[in-house]
Structure 1
Amino acid sequence: MKQANFYCKDYLVSGEEYHLEKWKHYEILKTSPVPENLSTYYQSEDYISHTDASKSFTDKLYNAVKSYMLQKKVGWIIKQKKQGKLLDIGAGTGDFINAASRYFEVDGVEPNAVARKNAALKNLDLKNDIEEILEQYDVITMWHVLEHVSNLEHQFKEFDRLLNKDGIIVIAVPNFKSKDAEIYKEHWAAYDVPRHLWHFSKFGIQKLFLENGYNLIHSNGLIFDSFYVSLLSEKHKTGKQNLIPAFLNGLKSNLSAASTGEYSSMVYFFKKH
């Protein structure tokens, strides 16, 4: 796919089409228009990060991989920061905070009431709004959250306010320069309009953070994401799950990324200049 303007459909809730346009001079795309009542576009039993659903094959696959990856994510962070205070922004139902609490003092923010309720069942008290957080942290994490943030400029002000001098920011986002994005084009599930307001490339997110005072210190590819996203993308494209084509396209994406570094989703570790 060329980095040009094109249209994507909301397959989860509304069936509406949205325009993806270039943003500034970055290698970043922006969803347009942004619905005024955006919160209603999250109101679906199929929005798994808010519900802990485990009904369909895709749900079960998602949750199995999530359990494994929680420990991997914590391990990656420990290599950069061995202890301290950690804030997870967009904590969902709190599984990452639970995993990280063995090594860090943890806090979490989650604006969605359903997700907070599910987190409370795990004895987690998540804040509703980042403005409620008054402390500073050694680690700030956003796992597939930055693409949902409406105001990036304000988000960087919050990073500056909340991060300790030697702290790190950990960001995981989809990568529209990946092979699976190229294969599925407008059907690529990780565009997920209009819930995803921003669409990042590896180059674009590094440039964005650099211009806001942060250097990239490390990155990892999320190799399972290509399979999960391909499975959803097959359903968007054909109306069926098509397990074998999805698996082969996910594998093709990871094999391509082994040489290009352009994985379906990436985790980036940033530190202040």
Structure 2
Amino acid sequence: MSQILFHKCKICNANKHILYLASIDFDTSKKIYFLYKCYNCNIVFIYPYPSDKVLAKHYDDNYYGSDTSKFIFPIERFIQFLNNNKASIINKYIKLFHSISENKNLNILDIGCGRAQTLSKLSKLGYNCFSLERTEYQGIQTSSITCYKQNNLNSLPFADNYLHAVIIWHVLEHLKNPTNIISEIARVLNSDGILILSVPNISSLQYSIFKKNWFHLDVPRHLFHFNFNSLIPMLKKNKFEIIRLTTCSFEQNLFGFIQSSMNAILLFLPKNAFYNLLKASSKNFLDYLKLFLWVIISLLIIPFALFELTISKILKKGAVITIYAKQPKKF
């Protein structure tokens, strides 16, 4: 494989990139994928890009879970708590910039929302909620959310200035044209419209430690890997003003470190084995025994994970980048 790639960057249009990493698909094919880093904007991306047919195989029922659960009960409850908390934070930021007293006048879109747990909470707060998911996904079953399904995100199915908030939570890295979708989000957002965005941080301390064993690489589903240098200019180009930025996510950092450590140290075991056992598929006695042993191992790793979380917070090199940004006045 060539160390230098001459190919037009989808973020900045530069043409020269360097081989960054060779990483294996942990889940489906065990195929090796090559990641390149743009000399100009620092975006890291898969090349060659997987075909739509290959990608569709990676968005199956095992990836999404059922319409009611993806993980075992305690994990599901914790995720629901996190999503409710996220909805409360989103509600707070929307209220900072929109003085409409009744939330029913405000429109929110969640791109790649999965089971729409955050949207469900926002719907209960009175917002008009819209979801956008891949056509393969059949999990959203609620009359309180208007659902759209399309795999091509070259355009969003909304008029200019229609939405007051757009959530794209750990989704941008899955898309073939991230610059295009950011431009589309800017188009459909109203004056002072809020963008809530989160992606894995390829410049994180965790990636520096674990490289190809890093849990958040998730090739080939993650087509792009962002850092500040590749993400923020794309937002500013579309007139977004950053109002909150953090690289610290307790749950993403903690579990990312635990599973990445297991991937790196327990070389004789399948990658992401602990994560896969936490999923809500039917389990026999042996599965529960394995899960118990994995939990014991994870408890031994947690002190190191908390130390890494603390250092990452100080250095601003956490496992994920989360941004709240807003559009300017448009009229």
Q: TM-score range by the shorter chain?
A: 0.7 to 0.9
| Alignment partner of 1:272 is 2:327 | yes
Give the structure 1 partner of residue 92 of structure 2. Answer: 79
* 8 Å contact from structure 2 (residues 242, 324) kept in 1: yes
How do 1:173-252 and structure 2 match up within 5 A?
173-220=199-246, 221-237=248-264, 238=266, 239=269, 241=274, 242-252=297-307
State the 1:139 CA deviation. 0.4
| Alignment partner of 1:10 is 2:36 | no
* 8 Å contact from structure 1 (residues 12, 46) kept in 2: no
Give the structure 2 partner of residue 167 of structure 1. Answer: 193
* 8 Å contact from structure 1 (residues 180, 250) kept in 2: no
**Match of 2:190, SS?**
strand
Relative distance call for 1:102 and 1:218 in structure 2 (3 A) is same
| Alignment partner of 1:39 is 2:60 | no
| Alignment partner of 1:70 is 2:83 | yes
Question: 1:204-242 deviations in whole A, cap 9, x for unaligned?
Answer: 311221233322111243211112222332443322643
Q: Distance in 1 between matches of 2:68 and 2:19?
A: 35
Give the structure 2 partner of residue 30 of structure 1. Answer: 45
State the 1:186 CA deviation. 0.9
Give the structure 2 partner of residue 157 of structure 1. Answer: 183
* 8 Å contact from structure 2 (residues 67, 141) kept in 1: no
| Alignment partner of 1:108 is 2:131 | yes
State the 1:100 CA deviation. 1.4
Q: Distance in 1 between matches of 2:301 and 2:324?
A: 29
**Match of 1:177, SS?**
coil
Q: Distance in 2 between matches of 1:255 and 1:222?
A: 11
Query: How many residues were matched structurally?
Result: 265
**Match of 1:74, SS?**
helix
Q: Distance in 2 between matches of 1:234 and 1:47?
A: 24
* 8 Å contact from structure 1 (residues 26, 208) kept in 2: no
Q: CA RMSD in A?
A: 2.6
Relative distance call for 1:260 and 1:85 in structure 2 (3 A) is same
Give the structure 2 partner of residue 127 of structure 1. Answer: 148
* 8 Å contact from structure 1 (residues 109, 128) kept in 2: yes
**Match of 1:224, SS?**
helix
* 8 Å contact from structure 2 (residues 19, 34) kept in 1: no
| Alignment partner of 1:88 is 2:110 | yes
State the 1:151 CA deviation. 0.9
* 8 Å contact from structure 1 (residues 174, 266) kept in 2: yes
* 8 Å contact from structure 2 (residues 168, 198) kept in 1: yes
Relative distance call for 1:46 and 1:153 in structure 2 (3 A) is closer
Q: Distance in 2 between matches of 1:137 and 1:121?
A: 20
| Alignment partner of 1:52 is 2:83 | no
Give the structure 2 partner of residue 97 of structure 1. Answer: 119
Percentage of identical aligned residues? 22
**Structure 2: segments with no counterpart, 5+ residues:** 1-17, 96-102, 275-296
